[in-house]
Amino acid sequence: MKAVFITGGTTGMGMELAKLYAKKGWKVGVCGRDKTKFDDNFQTEKDQIAFYQVDVANRAELKAAIADFSKSIGLDLLIANAGIGYKFKTKIPDFDWSYKMVHVNFLGVMYAFEAALDVMVPRSKGQLVAISSIAGYNGLPGVSAYSATKAAVQKYCESLHLDLRQFGINVTSICPGFVDTPLTQSNHHKMPFIMSAPKAAEKIAHAIEKKKMVYAFPFFFATIVRILGMLPRTWYRAFMSFKAVNYSKE
Ligand SMILES: NC(=O)c1ccc[n+]([C@@H]2O[C@H](COP(=O)([O-])OP(=O)(O)OC[C@H]3O[C@@H](n4cnc5c(N)ncnc54)[C@H](OP(=O)(O)O)[C@@H]3O)[C@@H](O)[C@H]2O)c1
C-alpha cells in the first residue's frame, strides 16, 4: 500500500488531497499547527489518517514527524502544501508577516523535501510535490512576499526536478489559480475562475500521477498569466496600472 505525507493537510486543498488519497486506499499522514482543525474536518477518516501537530517552519519538528511517518507507515509521495497568505494587501510591506511567509511558504517546503529525501534517496524512488501558485509567475502588487515565496518554490522545484531524476525521484510544482478555501474566503477582491477545493485536489492528484514537472491551472487563467509574464516589463507595468489595483485594506 502506498503512503503520502501532506503538510498543511487539515483544511482546504491539503484536506481534500488527504481525503482523496485515503479514498484511493493510500496510507495518509497530515500535519498542521491546530489539532482541532483535524478533529473537526476528519471526523469519519480519523482512524485512517495520521495527524502530526507540527509547524512546518520548525525544521527539526517537521523532520521528526516525516521520519516517524515513513518509518512506521512508509513514504512514496510528499506533498508540501502548507502555506499562508495575506489578510489584506499593502503597498508598504508588513515585514514581520513577510518573514513569516518566507519561513512557512518557502523554508517549509525545503524542510519537508529534506526530510523526505532522507528516505527517498537511499531507496532511489519517490515523488516530491510542492504547492506553489500562479501568483509566483509575475510580481503581483500588494502581495510582494507571497509572490516571491511562490516564485522561489517554482524555481526550487524546477531545479530539483532536473537534479533528482537520475536518483529515481520526480519533483512537481503545482501552480493553482484561485481555489475556494479558508485562505481565500477572507478575500474581498475579485477572484476570476475560482474553483472548488475538491475539484482542485482532483486536478492536482492527476498531475502528480502523470509526474508533470509543472502544472498550472485553470488552463485559461494560467495562460493569461503566462502571457503577462512574457510581456516587456514596461507593458506589464502599464497593464497593472490600467487595472488600477486597489491596495487599501480590501
Ligand atoms: N486557495 C488558493 O486560491 C490558492 C492558490 C494558489 C496556491 N495556494 C496554496 O495552496 C496551499 C494550500 O492553501 P489552501 O488554500 O488550501 O489554504 P488553507 O485552507 O488555509 O490551508 C492551509 C493549511 O496549511 C496549514 N498551515 C499553515 N501554516 C502552517 C504551518 N506554519 N505549519 C504547518 N501547517 C501550516 C493549515 O493548518 P494550521 O493553520 O492548523 O497550521 C492548513 O492545514 C498553500 O501553500 C497556498 O499558498 C492556494
Indicate which CATH number applies to the domain containing 127.
Answer: 3.40.50.720
Please check the confidence at residue 46 and state whether its pLDDT lies above 60.
Answer: yes
Q: Which of 32-39's residues contact partners 24+ apart within 8 Å by CB, and which partners?
A: 32/8, 32/82, 34/10, 37/10, 37/11, 38/10
Residue found by looking up cell 514596461 in the block: 234
Q: Which cell numbers hold the place of 27?
A: 496510507
Q: Which ligand 1 atom sits nearest the alpha carbon of residue 16?
A: 16
d(CA 248, CA 90): 7
- Specify if 135 maps to a domain: yes
136 lines ligand 1 (CB under 6 A): no
- Specify if 248 maps to a domain: no
C-alpha of residue 8 to centroid of ligand 1, in Å: 6
Please check the confidence at residue 22 and state whether its pLDDT lies above 80.
Answer: yes
At residue 244, the pLDDT reads 52
C-alpha of residue 104 to centroid of ligand 1, in Å: 9
d(CA 138, CA 151): 8
Q: Which stretches of 123-201 are assigned E, i.e. beta strand? A: 126-131, 169-176, 179-180, 195-196
Averaged pLDDT, 7-23: 97
Residue at 208: amino acid letter: I
- pLDDT-derived band at 48, boundaries 50, 70, 90: confident
At residue 214, the pLDDT reads 98
Contact present, 54 and 77 (Cβ < 8 Å): no
Q: Which ligand 1 atom sits nearest the alpha carbon of residue 34?
A: 40
At residue 245, the pLDDT reads 53
Averaged pLDDT, 138-156: 96
Name the domain count of the chain.
1
Residues sharing a CB contact under 8 Å with residue 249, sequence separation 6 or more, in sequence order = 88, 89
Averaged pLDDT, 42-63: 94
- Specify if 249 maps to a domain: no
d(CA 209, CA 241): 40
Residues sharing a CB contact under 8 Å with residue 67, sequence separation 6 or more, in sequence order = 115, 118, 119
Domain of residue 188 covers 3-242
Averaged pLDDT, 160-175: 98
32 lines ligand 1 (CB under 6 A): yes
d(CA 43, CA 19): 11
pLDDT in tens, 194-234: 999 999 999 999 999 999 999 999 999 999 999 999 999 99
Please check the confidence at residue 56 and state whether its pLDDT lies above 70.
Answer: yes
Please provide the DSSP assignment of 106-119 as one string: IIHHHHHHHHHHHH
Q: Whose CA is nearest to atom 46 of ligand 1?
A: 83
Q: Whose CA is nearest to atom 25 of ligand 1?
A: 8
Q: Which residue has the higher pLDDT, 88 or 67?
A: 67
What percent of the chain lies above the pLDDT cut of 70?
A: 97
d(CA 197, CA 178): 10
Averaged pLDDT, 65-76: 98
Phi then psi for 23, rounded to 5 degrees?
-65, -35
Q: Which ligand 1 atom sits nearest the alpha carbon of residue 15?
A: 43
12 lines ligand 1 (CB under 6 A): yes
pLDDT in tens, 72-119: 999 999 999 999 998 788 889 999 999 999 999 999 999 999 999 999
Averaged pLDDT, 136-152: 96
Averaged pLDDT, 177-184: 95
Q: Which cell numbers hold the place of 1?
A: 500500500
- pLDDT-derived band at 250, boundaries 50, 70, 90: very low
- Specify if 250 maps to a domain: no
Averaged pLDDT, 142-170: 97
Q: Whose CA is nearest to atom 8 of ligand 1?
A: 133
Contact present, 80 and 7 (Cβ < 8 Å): yes
- pLDDT-derived band at 241, boundaries 50, 70, 90: confident
- pLDDT-derived band at 243, boundaries 50, 70, 90: low
CA distances from 232 to 41, 168, 227, 237 (A): 45, 38, 10, 9
- pLDDT-derived band at 12, boundaries 50, 70, 90: very high
